[in-house]
Amino acid sequence: MSITAAAPPSNDTRTPWELFGIDRLLDDDERDIAATVRKFVETRLRPNVGDWFESATLPKELAREFGELGVLGMHLQGYGCAGTNAVSYGLACLELEAGDSGFRSFVSVQGSLSMFSIYRYGSEEQKNEWLPRLATGEAIGCFGLTEPDFGSNPAGMRTRARRDGSDWVLNGTKMWITNGNLADVATVWANTDDGIRGFLVPTDTPGFTANAIHKKLSLRASVTSELVLDNVRLPASAQLPLAEGLGAPLSCLNEARFGIVFGSLGAARDSLETAIAYTQSRDVFDRPLSSYQLTQEKLANMTLELGKGILLAIHLGRIKDAEGVRPEQISLGKLNNVREALAIARECRTLLGGSGITLEYSPLRHANNLESVLTYEGTSEMHLLSIGRALTGHAAFR
């Protein structure tokens, strides 16, 4: 039986982005910001990400480069921050994660956790001391909420802050902290006699230790740490004055989760673009792999899920810019987009065959990273239950 030659490819091809007409949904500033970040990723980050992933490193000097790019706290107003809209911030996260989840994680933790906690709950003195330096990358921040035994249930945290005269003394351990070993300041959440409160802890304070977590299979181009607080003494001015109760750190997490709604799609888009290019150039039985129906079915289905995810992300961004997005709406976005991005990255790996297991191609690296993104800042299970609570009024996780 002879092999039928494939018809020549059409010159009227479209990228997944173009097929959904995404640019028509964006204004000029949003398109320009996305293009600027994408160029930075292509020229500065992509040529090095394989080596950084393999060696499990993230150069500290990238902080200043991200600052020069203008993405650190870019959605905040004043204090050296650009004050962009939510969609622009989301698109920057998407382009960064198209390079690697580690890049978006750094920017997200710096801007939406560390900086936002100070911006929203800090005193004017705290804002002036830290935000301009964090915006330029001169200083690096981290966010200490999760503990070894308390992830989905942060209300059970064992870290304690007690009064000693006018000072505070903190004891406890925080786990899975992005940027921990790079940070100059940590926002640490602790139980007090008056409930959960937030504190700004300079990392050179006696009793503060950051221990890097090694042998990771995911987010290797990212610094992940354990924070240990052993009788860390802080002045009263270290407390975030407006942070009262668990709602404060959870609001910061919602800011960061919004970035993930967009960011995860960057990993998916890059995986899909890689798979399309590979299948166009790879011949199987004397025909391009892209000419086979099973290949096109995979590419079409992945494009559909990617496009739906982008439409959802932009919609949530417009809501956030207009009247404010609700936590359960963020849950919709994170649950769907991370879940679909992970499925896309895995499927793209299959189209690459044996080549897909090397760092020469991005899909398996993205899939490994997305395994962490699926879990952190709210597991898929918790987001499912958040949506369920919104629909039924019953908190099934309690």
70 phi and psi angles, rounded to 5 deg: 90, 20
Amino acid 152 reads S
Q: At what angle do helices 363-373 and 101-108 cross, to 10 degrees?
A: 40
- Residues 316, 258 contacting (CB under 8 angstroms): yes
Tell me the backbone φ, ψ of residue 181, rounded to 5 degrees.
Answer: -80, -10
pTM for the predicted model, two decimal places: 0.94
User: Which ranges of 282-326 does DSSP label H, i.e. alpha helix?
Assistant: 293-322
178 conformational bin, left if phi > 0, alpha if psi -120 to 50, beta if neither: beta
DSSP string, 186-236: EEEEEEETTEEEEEEEETTSTTEEEEE--S-SS--SS-EEEEEEEEEEE-G
Q: In a structure prediction context, what are the per-residue pLDDT tens digits for the chain, which is 398 residues long?
A: 344 455 566 667 889 999 999 999 999 999 999 999 999 999 999 999 999 999 999 999 999 999 999 999 999 999 999 999 999 999 999 999 999 999 999 999 999 999 999 999 999 999 999 999 999 999 999 999 999 988 778 888 999 999 999 999 999 999 999 999 999 999 999 999 999 999 999 999 999 999 999 999 999 999 999 999 999 999 999 999 999 999 999 999 999 999 999 999 999 999 999 999 999 999 999 999 999 999 999 999 999 999 999 999 999 999 999 989 999 999 999 999 999 999 999 999 999 999 999 999 999 999 999 999 999 888 899 999 999 999 999 989 77
Reply yes or no on whether 377 is catalytic: yes
Active-site option among 68, 273, 377, 381: 377
Q: Where are the alpha helices (DSSP H) in the chain?
A: 16-19, 28-40, 46-55, 62-69, 86-99, 101-108, 116-121, 124-136, 247-281, 293-322, 327-351, 363-373, 380-392
Delineate the domains of the chain, giving CATH numbers in brackets: 16-136 (1.10.540.10), 141-244 (2.40.110.10), 247-392 (1.20.140.10)
